[in-house]
Amino acid sequence: MSKLLGFLDERAIVLDMKATTKEEAIRELLDVAVEQGELKAKDVGKVFELVMEREQRGSTGLGAGIAIPHVKDCPGLSGLTGALGRSSEGIPFDAIDGNPVHLVFLILGGSGTAGDHVEILKKLAALRMNEHFIRFLKDSKDLPSLVDTIREMSGSVA
């Protein structure tokens, strides 16, 4: 099975996040990465610290209801992985537009993945500008329709 957007396994998508804070959201998505076998439980604490250090340098809440917390050089990872969480209530994420975040794309990269990491960030930034993509992700009724939306829309971004 190929990874959606180059980093995301469809089993690592949470349709209804329980998190109500930025920290809880990141922990919830890290737990999903562990459940999928992408991240070792022993590395979660260090990876959480790295993600939060990145957030302190500047929020990854990009506006339009999207956040893309990300970190490179994660211990225990050789490639790129991550998780996607959706929150119907919205999560305060210190986004640049001040609005809550409804879609959280967590991207984790192992050493030597900087080039691929940047390409994924560019792709997500481009998709963020597509209001139809965002609405379809927010409104998808189930996992298959959300996955189909990602496949369809990400194919249209160079």
Rg (the chain; Cα; Å): 14
15, two tokens:
């349709």
Residues tagged active-site: 70
Q: Long-range contact list for 96-103, CB < 8 A, 24+ apart?
A: 96/59, 96/61, 96/62, 96/63, 97/63, 97/64, 99/63, 99/65, 100/65, 101/25, 101/61, 101/65, 101/66, 101/67, 102/65, 102/66, 102/138, 103/65, 103/66, 103/67, 103/134, 103/137, 103/138
- Alpha helix ranges (H) inside 9-128: 22-35, 44-57, 114-128
Say which amino acid occupies 156.
S
